[in-house]
Amino acid sequence: MTLVAGVDSSTQSCKVVILDAESGTLVREGRASHPDGTEVHPDEWWRALSEAFDDAGGLADVSGLSVGGQQHGMVLLDRDGNVLRPALLWNDTRSAGSAEDLTAEIGAEDFARRTGLVPVASFTITKIRWIRDNEPENLAKVAAVALPHDWLTWRLRGYGPAGSSPMGPNLDELTTDRSDASGTGYWSPRTGHYDLDLFKLAFGQDAREASRDTPQAGEAKPAPGVVVLPRVLGPGETAGRVHPACFGGTGGSEASGGGILLGIGAGDNAAAALGLGAKPGDVVVSVGTSGTVFAVDSSPVHDASGTVAGFADASGEYLPIAVTLNAARVLSSVAAVLDVDFDELSRLALEAEPGAGGVVLVPYFEGERTPNLPHAKASFHGLSIASTTRPNIARAAIEGMLCGLAGGLDALRAQGVRAERLLMIGGAVQNPAVQRIAVQVFDLPVVVPSPGEYVARGAAVQAAWALAGFRPDWPVALDATPEPDFRASIGQNYRMVSARVDSDD
């Protein structure tokens, strides 16, 4: 049996799955936690990666490995390969003003055309602008800008700070993939190249893509004043091999014959799409603390409103995505008000009729990103003596959360994205009421894959792809395929109420 490992280095933790490369069957898994916060030193990811490998039983029998990671996080390296400061993560909002400045300087339409997105604080380009304007002592030292999965892959290959890594600080060996590059704000899914003019506008310095053909390829340090950006590898390529010295010899596995083959890695949503086997026509709704709605599509999109970010995927297609800030937290907040657990919230919600007796929750508890209303608040509407019941409140919470996500689906469709099937993932989707109500809110066939670490699984797909030379077609187990029961009135009522709220804000 040939084994491959997939890594999900997320905001909260590092998860590792080890699978049979032929069937995709899970053999074993492990995890380790990351520190809380919106800025984290990358060394913490390296520590957690080692602990997760140990928790998964080690890599001695593993032949291939790839890393999926949280997107947008900014890792700054100096000429000696040292991390200059803790990485600013996607959820660090200090660069919101920088995002506004960049949009004003370029224009939303031009930015979307050039990169597929419009700057918000999440994206890497806004963070490098913030560094330029606020940390001149670090600005002068920056020799490379990488993303979390880029840095981990580089370290696994033996590269790193001078004097403490076996291969030294060769910044021209930094690599990434098109999915993660497309979340930076200075790479174009349409052209497949970095937009170096945009990078210079944001950072004030010239940049170039890492290349083994440059004069610096065999040297430790790039030319002064030119920032290195990771080389973008294509689907199915390999980034190299895990160095035998990694983690006290972990990299030199017996199965690999002296170095585990490394896939190129991916951003987390693109890795999840690979893990789910998503293809054009599929839309994935992920219900976590926040919500994401993304699709695999054959054409790049650019949305000047910024509602849909036009990312690339990890298979050679594209990954348009819309994000809501309010998803599972809507349910936990309302459950707390009703003083019930999730099971009781589900039971109450299913006691109410579709439409919750006219009660509508506009679920902007944390402001909202889709639509872009950062200062909005949540509100119940349609309450009367007759309609104000615990079942109606519970059902309105679930309908409101799902209608918010349906707005993301509408935004994708408005960009011409083909939508034929909806795959729902995330812990909250295991709630029976969420599944029952989803088929009444969404006008697509809904399937619920079995719970799993789909980001890590998608990274394992990349590892198997690099080993075999073709993308594996592993089956995905389904937990539920609820019967369609679309009720247009639920969405119509929600849109009517939310439109009034949106105009007030």
Q: Are 43 and 36 in contact (CB under 8 A)?
A: no
Cβ-contact 283, 477 below 8 angstroms: no
Which DSSP symbol is given to 248? G
Neighbours of 343 (CB within 10 A): 12
Q: Which run of H or E residues covers position 152?
A: helix 148-156
Q: Which is nearest to 51 in space by CA: 259, 241, 247, 251?
A: 247
What are residue 479's DSSP bridge partners?
none
d(CA 72, CA 74): 6
Q: Which residues are catalytic?
A: 268
- Do residues 144 and 169 make contact, with C-beta atoms less than 8 angstroms apart? no
Judged by phi (left if over 0) then psi (alpha if -120 to 50, else beta), residue 236 lies in left
DSSP 3-state of 376: coil
CA dihedral 422, 425, 427, 429 (to 10 degrees): 10
User: In degrees, to the nearest 5, what angle opens at C-alpha 188 toward C-alphas 186 and 194?
Assistant: 55
Closest CA to 39 of 142, 144, 121, 140: 121
Structure tokens belonging to residue 489: 């009135």
Q: Is 384 left (phi over 0), alpha (psi -120 to 50) or beta?
A: beta
- Angle, helix 390-414 to helix 342-351, in steps of 10 degrees: 90
User: 39 pairs with which residues across the strands?
Assistant: 88
Integer Cα distance of 117 and 31 in angstroms? 33
Q: Smallest Cα–Cα separation from 456: which of 1, 22, 26? A: 26
Distance from C-alpha of 46 to C-alpha of 64, rounded to nearest angstrom: 18
DSSP-derived letter for residue 358 is G
CA distance 262 to 211: 18
Look up tokens 């007030």; give the residue: 504
Asked if residues 149 and 267 have their Cβ atoms less than 8 Å apart, the reply is yes
Contact 77, 70 (CB under 8 A): no
